[in-house]
Every structure is written in C-alpha cells, then in structure tokens.
Amino acid sequence: MKKFAGLLLALFIIGLSGGARADVLVLIHGYLGSPGSWEQSGVASVLEQNGWHRAGIVSTDPGGRVHLLPAIAGQKRKNKVYIVSLPSKAPLHFQAQHLQLMLNFLNQRHKDEPYILAGHSVGGVVARLALVKGLNPTPHALITIASPHLGTPRAGQALDFTDSPWPIEVIKDIFGGPQYHTLKSSRSLYYDISGPWPGSLLYHLNNSPHPKINYVSIIRGQPFMIWGDNIVPTISQDMNNVPQLKGKSIVYTSGSGHSLVAADGFLLTETLKHISTK
C-alpha cells in the first residue's frame, strides 16, 4: 500500500509540469521480442481499455522500406498506439537505424501530433540510441522498462559460452540446437550490451548529449537490489546512472520479472496521463 501511494504521489508531482497527453505512443520490443510481445502480455489491451487505441504495426524490409499494417479505427482516435517490429538479434546501431526510419514515417503521418517512445529491455536502449543519433521532431518522452542502460553480465556470459576452441565449437554447433544457434547469431548484439567499457557503443552512447525531454525508468525488483530481475541488474535499468542523464529520470519500481506483464499497461497509462507534452 505504501509503494502504491508513493507511486501516485510521484505521478501527481510529474503532472504539475503539465497535464496534456501525447497523441502517439510508439512501443518498442526487446531482444527476441516482436509486436506480439505487447499483445500477448496484455499491455496493448490494457492501453486500449484506457483510451490508447491500436493504430497499427510498423516494420521495415531489408531494403529499408517502411511498411504499415494499419488498424483503421484506431488511427481516427485521439490517442494512438503504434507497435514497431525490429530485427532484435541485430547490433544496436542497425536496430536504431531501422527505428529511425519507422519514426520518420510515423512523423510524416502525424506531423502535428506529439509522440512518446516506450521501450522494453534492449528496445529501450535502441530508442535512446535513436534519440542521440537524432530524431526530427524530438519525442516528448522516453519510457524504458527493464532496459540494460549499463549493459548486463548475461551478455558477457553468452559471449563466453559461444566462444569455444575447436573441436568443442564444432560439437556445440552440431548438438546445440536452435537455442545455441540463436545465441551465436546474436553475438554482435551481446558485444553492444555487455557493458559501457571505454571504446564500446554503450560507453559512447552514455557519454553523448541527450535531448531535453522527459525520461522515465521502470525498474524491475526492489530498490537497492543488485539484481532487478534475472536478466538486467537494477542499477543498469535506471537511466539516472547514465552519465548524461543523472537526476533527469523519474523512477518507478514494478514487479520482479523481466518480461512484459499486463500491469505494465496500467503503469504506462498512468505515466502517460501526467507527462507534459507542451
């Protein structure tokens, strides 16, 4: 009860900066996710029930052309939700480039409507990279859910597991099965999210200027825990620990699992009510 009351108080304080609501919400899935991640978890349904209507699924083809599977009824409503489809095993830069293409496409369709980005897991880092690389117009807010802004040791473990000497590597390739082959095909992404080491992409990203927008970090687990969930440490999920964003992110704690759950829809709904879009 105390945690819930604290959340309401924090939301009220944010609301003092302005009560206008964004018209376009863009949902960005994480590693091995898809637009279905938001549907199967129940997040999209909760948003729909609270006035944020499905407007379509946006994707790109290998040639960089953007495609929209529209939800016509939702596009006519005030508050619209688009879900993007990313090549989630690809390196961060590649994913960010595709996200930029899709966001530019959406901005052309809704030129006078403010928008907010919400990314789960690696999707939150991809969104932040797209921001730093430059988006026009700039979104009004970035919300991340259980995102590895400082990387995750799990990526380093996956790199170690898929880097074996011959003939062990040959044996793994033969008998490892689909899961092992997925790990192998994701190695470039694992390098990107293994940590913000000098010379790494995360190091460059975290020390680059960020736009002056609203930042919200939704963290799994309890405050002051080392591990927020079984994938990303708590400290890594908080954008305030990014050198360029210290003190700039509102923080909420929600649950202990890494995956999206329906409760994230309710938390997004309340957050969206109070983020200023002036």
pLDDT in tens, 85-135: 999 999 999 999 999 999 999 999 998 899 999 999 999 999 999 999 998
DSSP 8-state assignment for residue 150: T
| The pLDDT of residue 174 | 65
Q: Using CA atoms, how far apart are residues 151 and 122, in angstroms rounded to an integer?
A: 9
Enumerate residue ranges in the chain where pLDDT < 70. Answer: 1-22, 165-168, 170-176, 222-228, 276-278
Mean pLDDT, rounded, of the chain: 87
- The rounded distance, in Å, linking the Cα atoms of 278 and 151 is 33
- Architecture field, domain 23-152+195-274: 3-Layer(aba) Sandwich (3.40)
- Pick the closest to residue 128 from 102, 93, 167 (CA basis): 93
Specify the pLDDT at position 275.
82
Quote the pTM value: 0.88
- How far is Cα of residue 128 from the mean position of the Cα atoms in its chain? 8
Helix (H, G, I), strand (E, B) or coil at 187: helix
Q: Which residues contact 123 (CB under 8 A, 6 or more apart)?
A: 28, 29, 30, 33, 86, 88, 144, 147
**In this predicted structure, what is the pLDDT of residue 38?**
98
pLDDT of residue 3: 43
Domain residues of the chain, as ranges? Answer: 23-152+195-274
